Amino acid sequence: MAKIADLDAFEKIQEEEKVIDTSKKVKIGIIGTGWIAENHARALLKMDDVEIVALADLIPGKAERFAQRFGIENARYYESDEALIAAEKDLDAVSICTYNTQHAPCAIHALEAGLHVMLEKPFTVTLDEAIEVMKAEKKSGKILTIGFQPRMSENMQMIKKIVQSGELGDIYYIQTGGGRRRGIPTPFGTTFIEKETGGIGALGDIGCYSLDMLLNAVGYPKPLTATGYISDFFGKDPAYYPNHPEYAEKFGVDDFAAGFVRLEGGIMLDFRISWAMHMNTCGDALILGTKGGLRIPSTDCWNGEFKTPLTIYKTLCDEMVEYQVPMKPAADFFFKKMRSFVDAVKEGGKATVPSSEIVINQAIIDGLVRSAKLGKEVEIEIPEV
Ligand SMILES: NC(=O)c1ccc[n+]([C@@H]2O[C@H](COP(=O)([O-])OP(=O)(O)OC[C@H]3O[C@@H](n4cnc5c(N)ncnc54)[C@H](O)[C@@H]3O)[C@@H](O)[C@H]2O)c1
């Protein structure tokens, strides 16, 4: 036991000792200065080799107020992504923190201007948009990474390690779980729930994380067909928002989604996600393989934190056995996400969460929406970029 503790300490020291070259500062602009931009700014401000040089928001004065709150000095302010990109000739990268429907246009503008891009999740609203962004990425040769910080969790990484180790055999069924009982995200306004700004609801907001957790573990196989269901019973109910019954009128996205997706390699994906329901959870996430099964405890937040350990189920000498995987401590996932992006920009590295993977995530979301609208199974095709 002592040895393991020593090893942990050694790894920690190694991590802390990584020397950062501060002689060249990476110049970053933040596009969209709402809630999530605060997490980006907090992380970037901890880095001695980064300068936040420009900020943009469509709401006049919002970017300035944001900068003042965070003590960001000598920055320039703009009222759109396009104005920032046109004026800032010395930028290396942008963090795109706009609401969902502005992800694609902002990413395309930035990539076309030769900038590296950290794009918040979900990738986009539709598959077509994701493909257009990827075309711009390919043409630019710049880094595009999608902001899935749960990928930075060592517990999350463990899921992939277990599957890839072969311990579970061939995977044939994966099930997403979790979901919120009361969690339509309206504490800071209605940008998540309006069609014009959010575009998609629970499906894109936390559905993309739940899909990523399992699809990343099994190597992001291509989706073939989808049967989807979406509903909006809670979002459309004025009683859901005692202090803001008018939000019900504005609600234009999904608050619950479910579906079956056939994946290449004979894997069936059983999906469900919720912002609101009369239930505490959609269950644990499961991965079933020919030699073992993995239970991933239910989580409603999808922020990369695990409160209880993963459990593996197997047969050993004809006995059914189960064992738990030791949990790793939580870390500052936002810092790790932003640091890995800055490192890639500085060192000419690759995206930590590349579009080539997340386009599959987006294609599934897109397929589930199309199927739900048509009321039947649909085929999923991802155009080549
Ligand atoms: N990674 C995470 O954990 C996490 C958490 C919350 C939100 N998000 C994602 O971050 C995004 C933003 O969420 P939020 O809560 O900050 O939303 P928000 O609505 O509070 O902020 C978005 C801001 O972007 C601005 N904006 C929109 N289009 C713009 C443009 N073209 N140019 C300049 N400014 C523009 C808006 O005026 C607004 O102030 C969403 O896509 C959401 O899914 C990620």
Which tokens belong to 233? 């019973």
> What does the pLDDT read at residue 5?
44
Judge whether 338 and 118 are in contact, CB under 8 Å: yes
CA distances from 233 to 50, 58, 239 (A): 45, 31, 11
Q: Based on the number of CB atoms within 10 Å of its own CB, is 6 exposed (0-12), middle (13-18) or buried (19 or more)?
A: exposed
- CB 223 near ligand 1, within 6 Å: no
Q: Which atom of ligand 1 is nearest to the CA of 59?
A: 37
pTM for the structure as a whole = 0.94
pLDDT tens-place string over residues 342-369:
999 999 999 999 999 999 999 999 999 9
Residue whose C-alpha is closest to residue 325's, from 158, 183, 165, 202: 158
- CB 32 near ligand 1, within 6 Å: yes
Cα of 200 from ligand 1 centre, angstroms: 14
- CB 62 near ligand 1, within 6 Å: yes
Cα of 114 from ligand 1 centre, angstroms: 22
- CB 145 near ligand 1, within 6 Å: no
> What does the pLDDT read at residue 3?
42
> What does the pLDDT read at residue 1?
36
CA distances from 360 to 54, 101, 216, 355 (A): 32, 18, 10, 9
> What does the pLDDT read at residue 174?
98
Number of C-alpha atoms within 13 angstroms, CB side, residue 221? 19
CB 96: neighbour CB atoms within 10 A?
28
Residue whose C-alpha is closest to residue 179's, from 270, 309, 261, 302: 302
- CB 235 near ligand 1, within 6 Å: no
Which tokens belong to 38? 């605060």
Judge whether 314 and 195 are in contact, CB under 8 Å: no
pLDDT tens-place string over residues 171-199:
999 999 889 999 999 988 999 999 999 99
> What does the pLDDT read at residue 303?
82
Cα of 296 from ligand 1 centre, angstroms: 29
pLDDT tens-place string over residues 252-302:
999 999 999 999 999 999 999 999 999 999 999 999 999 999 999 998 878
Cα of 276 from ligand 1 centre, angstroms: 21
Give nearest CA residue, ligand 1 atom 33.
Answer: 57
By most ligand atoms within 8 Å of CB, the mutation choice from 30, 36, 117 for ligand 1 is 36
- CB 190 near ligand 1, within 6 Å: no
Residue whose C-alpha is closest to residue 361's, from 151, 176, 215, 205: 215
Spacing of C-alpha 349 from chain mean position: 20
Q: Which atom of ligand 1 is nearest to the CA of 303?
A: 3
> What does the pLDDT read at residue 330?
87
The H or E element that residue 355 is part of is helix 355-374
Instruction: Give the whole-angstrom CA distance, residue 29 versus residue 109.
Output: 13
Give nearest CA residue, ligand 1 atom 40.
Answer: 99
- CB 120 near ligand 1, within 6 Å: yes
Cα of 245 from ligand 1 centre, angstroms: 23
Which tokens belong to 95? 């963090």
pLDDT tens-place string over residues 201-241:
999 999 999 999 999 999 999 999 999 999 999 999 999 99
pLDDT tens-place string over residues 107-150:
999 999 999 999 999 999 999 999 999 999 999 999 999 999 99
Q: What is the DSSP track for 82-147?
A: HHHHHH-TT--EEEE-S-GGGHHHHHHHHHHTT-EEEEESSS-SSHHHHHHHHHHHHHHT--EEEE
* Number of residues assigned to the chain: 385
Cα of 306 from ligand 1 centre, angstroms: 25
- CB 102 near ligand 1, within 6 Å: yes
> What does the pLDDT read at residue 12?
56
Q: Which atom of ligand 1 is nearest to the CA of 102?
A: 28
Instruction: Give the whole-angstrom CA distance, residue 156 versus residue 163.
Output: 12
DSSP alpha helix (H) spans, 113-235:
127-140, 154-165, 202-205, 207-217
Judge whether 247 and 241 are in contact, CB under 8 Å: yes
- CB 147 near ligand 1, within 6 Å: yes
Is residue 8 pLDDT above 70, yes or no?
no
By most ligand atoms within 8 Å of CB, the mutation choice from 98, 102, 191 for ligand 1 is 98
The SS3 call for residue 320 is: strand
Q: Which domains does the chain have, with CATH numbers?
A: 15-149+334-354 (3.40.50.720), 150-328+362-379 (3.30.360.10)
Q: Based on the number of CB atoms within 10 Å of its own CB, is 76 exposed (0-12), middle (13-18) or buried (19 or more)?
A: middle
pLDDT tens-place string over residues 50-105:
999 999 999 999 999 999 999 999 999 999 999 999 999 999 999 999 999 999 99
Which residues, 6+ apart, have CB-to-CB distance to 26 below 8 Å? 49, 50, 51, 92, 93, 342, 345, 346
Mean model confidence pLDDT for the chain: 94
- CB 60 near ligand 1, within 6 Å: no
Beta bridge partners of 320: 315
Cα of 160 from ligand 1 centre, angstroms: 29
Q: Sorting pLDDT into bands at 50, 70 and 90, what band is 16?
A: low
Cα of 36 from ligand 1 centre, angstroms: 6
